[in-house]
Chains A and B, each alone.
Chain A
Amino acid sequence: MTPTLMFALAILFLPLLSFAFQIFFGSKIGRAAHWFSLAALGVTLSLALSFFANIFITPGYALLDVSAVWFSSGSFTVELGIYIDNIAAVMLVVVSTISFLVHIYSTEYMRGDPRYTRYFGYLGLFTFSMNGIVLANSLLMMYVFWELVGISSYLLIGFWFEKQSAASAGMKAFLTNRVGDIGMFIGILLLFMQLGTFNIQAIAEQVEFGAFDGTGLLLTIAGIMVFMGAIGKSAQFPLHIWLPDAMEGPTPVSALIHAATMVAAGVYMTVRIFAFLTPAALEFVAVIGGITALMAAIIAITQVDIKRVLAYSTVSQLGYMVMALGVGAFQAGFFHLTTHAMFKACLFLASGSVIHSMHHALHKIDDHSTDPQDMRNMGGLRKKMPITYISMVVASLSISGIPFFTGFLSKDAILAGTLAYYHLHHGWTIFLPISGFGAAIITAFYMFRLIFMTFHGEPARKDIHEHLHETPGAMTTPLIILSVLSLAFVFTIPSTVNPFNSQGWFTSAIHTGENFAGLDMEVVGEALHHAHEPAMMISLTVAALGILAALLFYLFKVVDVEKLTRRVNKLGLYNLSFHKFYIDEIYDAVLYRPFFWYTKVVAKFDWELYDQKFIDWWGWLTLKISDWSGYSDYTWLDQKVVDGFGKATRYFGKELRLSQSGVIQNYILGGVIGILSIFILFQAF
């Protein structure tokens, strides 16, 4: 076993060890048990960094590619294997970094929770599963860890299961994801049947050498099917409904799973299978991403729960990444995955810091009815919580795409990608840049709406405000680290010092080979190059406009927001956004209710009609027949026929008895008549 393989296995199994440790020993040790998890994750992170350090030597080539037979029946063989190239190495670092920081943060955030150690166990299980997706070299193995990620997400969303909303949210997340997973599974089956392998590299190679002949329709279908898994996991329309509900989990969990890593797994997987997505499949991917990016951004405008705003923001940004993949700018998409992981984790952890502080303040004033997450109860927090405030501003500038911050680098590239796609394809594809730039302006607006409502202005509730204070170092340190990682220079210097140039060391580090089923990368690259400058100009303008609008609405209050709301709502637009386009309600009316009604009908049919009526009818029929045969047997055959013989015998006996007179002459007479009769009879014949 080579050292690299050992390292990779350690990255995979250390978090699992942490899970096992917490489940079996955690509750006995108590709070101190978190040191085990912290140590395990610390080692995982440093091992991930050791892979990361190696990607610069030969970008685009695999650092590790090993497989071993898992089980085999002869012709049917399933292998498990690890494949680490630059993309995987970056992803490992992203996952381990955020996971490690969230572990540190949670030691404070979850302090005093009755299931404190189990929480750390679940975090370990999640990190194990997530790293499994990253390391997997085959689609089936990816699917295995895909499901395990689903179950750890289920456990963590429903961690506070005494809350009904948390319990339901966990279930909703798992089931919604399963809808996508079915598609992914069918896609995997299709590819396996056609190519006889689950190995991603092998599939890509066979596709490159023309394994799918003809129009490639089957390959398109297979690609879209596998991508359905990403629609579920990365919360794309129409399966995005679970992610906002998933905010019922503890906030650090939201940061780790439902912002930075798990939801990015769909994007990561699409990057992995990118090489065999056909142009038609990519078009589908782009449209899904475009719809999601714009729709979720519109919903985020009107939400008042600080975590919900961030949740819809996450959905929207994931839409961006997916759209980037669809238009062929897949490096930009992956770049955005990385930068988004940092600034969105920062935003969530900062919001967690606010919620934590609010929660304690409410506890102090013995108020159990006020929602600690409702931004309408906040305001003016910046002086009380300066570190939280500054890190949140940094992350917000980053997500809005302002120069000097990471979001600018990656988002800009995506927007250029959509413009380039439009230049190449024309027609309806204008929807993609419109969605991209539209979402950009809205993003800047709602992020600064959040900042102003939470941190600026007058405190909404003086009584709460008094008791607010900055959170402890275990919570603020991760915020500082993540906000530093949201600064552009981290990803560009030393390759370039130009803040408007996104082509730094990182973009060359995530460079990959260019053999794709769907795209001529030269054409795409050319178009991207031309789209770059206009895209940057427009994106800077829209970001500035969005922030300006937020300033006018929420900081300087030049515009009366309530009046505007009322006016907009005459067309029902406000409600449409506030009620998330009524998608949950529609699903409830056309899917859930009819479905459960239908299962009830099925069960009624199965038991009350089919079994009790039809099956038991045979029993009834048998009883009837046996009744009848019993009747005929006794009343008719026995009583009438058999006993009839008896009665007849008795009757004749009784009658004939009279001939037994005892007079000898009569007997002789009878005898003579008898003999004579026989004699005559014989004579006659």
Chain B
Amino acid sequence: MRIKLTSIMVDDQNKALEFYTETLGFSKKFEIPMGEYKWLTVVSPEGPDDLELSLEPNANPAGKTFQQAMFGQKIPVAAFESSDIDADFQRLKAQGVVFTLEPTPMGAVKIAVFSDTCGNLIQIYQPVGA
């Protein structure tokens, strides 16, 4: 058993694809239409290309309730590692991304938190000394 796929719920898959590729810089792996929704995954060009993040619809009411509650409590639902968090912060900020936490040292890491515009807060982190 291994971890090859994880997911984030999004409120609009087209908007999510645009944000995760054009703004964050990930690459689209699969986009398979399935009725009103699609099987949509992205990969990071800086990581193994078979480690996928699925951008799944939050159409299920339970998922939407969970997502909005996490967001309202400022809890990130995913964390991506950055090799230069200050540069990523500046790059994303210049593209209009909203941060709720600017790069901040916190123990063994420096972290920042931003909105993915699809209903989630995402944390980026850089291990200290990396």
Determine if chain A interacts with chain B: no
Residues of chain B touching chain A, judged by Cβ–Cβ distance below 8 Å, are: none
